[in-house]
């Protein structure tokens, strides 16, 4: 992980904007009112939800140096690796009343964070802030509350351009539990995505999720999430092209998380149902995860 001068970061984001804007928004509303999702919109909302679910796994770890895992593995942080040069931590040192891994309250600011992987084919840049708070500051526990403020992630994937994206996150999320299971609560969390087609979408959600480790006792606060399964559900809204839909998300079969997957979403099996409603008309979207980084989308329509 290396820091990159701010002008280069701007150039990378500008390059990504050109990639994502290469195609015009070709989706047109279905019917006279546009209340039913088009096929393109169904694919976009599925991509948003799949990425949001993958972040449940990614954010189930606390990196004591950088907040969220960057290019270095979490064990390096445990050994006392310093923060990346693009990460500012405040206050330093933070107050930690109970002495566990999570400080009472600490802010990580990401500025000009750029790093590459995949033999140089994938370039990620990060910006914005995340506040990390201990939900139980006076008792040793396994859990973190995050407050995201304009946390921006941009990815340029030259090998697979359709996997490039830009996302801006705002809102609160919290997780906690024990070495066997974790519970996630996401409240009023908004993600604005720019897709490879150039379309911009906004997903706001209130979700509750549970993760169960395949091997009991294998969950740790400061190591990567082990293999296991997610069950999630909740409500929210999804918007694009000046239209907004209400969304109910539910789990049909648990999502099998595989930490050895190198392509997101990192699920080898599992199924989600989305009920997407606007103006009394409903689109049903099914997301079936088939293997690492791959899923199938099925769209059907019907009356509420």
For the segment 160-194, what is each residue's pLDDT rounded down to a tens digit?
A: 887 788 999 999 999 999 999 999 999 999 999 99
Answer whether residue 262 is part of any domain: no
Answer whether residue 266 is part of any domain: no
Number of domains in the chain: 1
Answer whether residue 260 is part of any domain: no
Distance (Å, whole) CA 41 – CA 34? 11
Output the DSSP codes for 111-179.
EEEEEEETTTTEEEEEEEEEEEE-SSTTS--EEEEEEEEEEEEEEEESSSGGG-EEEEEEEEEEEEE-S
Answer whether residue 265 is part of any domain: no
Mean residue pLDDT of the chain comes to 84
For the segment 43-97, what is each residue's pLDDT rounded down to a tens digit?
A: 999 999 999 999 999 888 888 888 877 654 333 333 345 567 888 999 988 899 9
Answer whether residue 9 is part of any domain: yes
Which residues have C-beta within 8 Å of that of residue 220, sequence separation ≥ 6?
Answer: 142, 179
Answer whether residue 219 is part of any domain: yes
Query: Which range of residues forms the domain containing residue 88?
Result: 2-23+35-240
- The pTM of the full predicted model, rounded to 2 decimals, is 0.84
Answer whether residue 169 is part of any domain: yes
Answer whether residue 48 is part of any domain: yes
Q: What totals of helices (H) and strands (E) does the chain contain, helices first?
A: 3, 13
């Amino acid at each position: 992980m290396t820091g990159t001068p701010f002008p280069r970061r701007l150039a990378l984001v500008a390059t990504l904007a050109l990639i994502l804007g290469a195609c015009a928004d070709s989706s047109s509303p279905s019917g006279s009112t546009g209340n039913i999702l088009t096929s393109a919109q169904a694919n976009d909302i599925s991509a948003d939800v799949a990425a949001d679910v993958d972040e449940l796994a990614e954010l189930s770890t606390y990196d004591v140096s950088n907040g969220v895992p960057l290019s270095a593995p979490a064990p390096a942080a445990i050994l006392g690796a310093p923060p990346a040069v693009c990460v500012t931590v405040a206050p330093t040192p933070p107050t930690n009343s109970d002495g566990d891994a999570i400080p009472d309250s600490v802010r990580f600011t990401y500025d000009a964070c750029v790093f590459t992987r995949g033999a140089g084919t994938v370039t990620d840049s990060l910006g914005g802030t995340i506040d990390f708070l201990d939900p139980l500051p006076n008792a040793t526990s396994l859990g973190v509350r995050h407050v995201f403020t304009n946390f921006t992630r941009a990815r340029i994937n030259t090998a697979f351009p359709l996997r490039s994206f830009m996302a801006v996150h705002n809102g609160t999320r919290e997780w906690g539990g024990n070495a066997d299971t974790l519970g996630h609560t996401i409240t009023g969390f908004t993600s604005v995505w720019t897709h490879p087609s150039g379309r911009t979408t906004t997903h706001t959600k209130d979700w509750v999720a549970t993760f169960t480790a395949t091997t009991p006792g294998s969950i740790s606060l400061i190591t990567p999430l082990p293999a296991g399964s997610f069950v999630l559900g909740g409500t929210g809204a999804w918007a694009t092209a000046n239209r907004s839909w209400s969304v109910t998300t539910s789990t049909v079969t648990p999502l099998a998380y595989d930490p050895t997957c190198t392509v997101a979403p990192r699920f080898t099996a599992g199924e989600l149902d989305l009920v997407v409603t606007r103006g009394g008309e409903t689109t049903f979207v099914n997301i079936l995860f088939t293997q690492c980084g791959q899923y199938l989308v099925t769209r059907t329509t019907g009356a509420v």
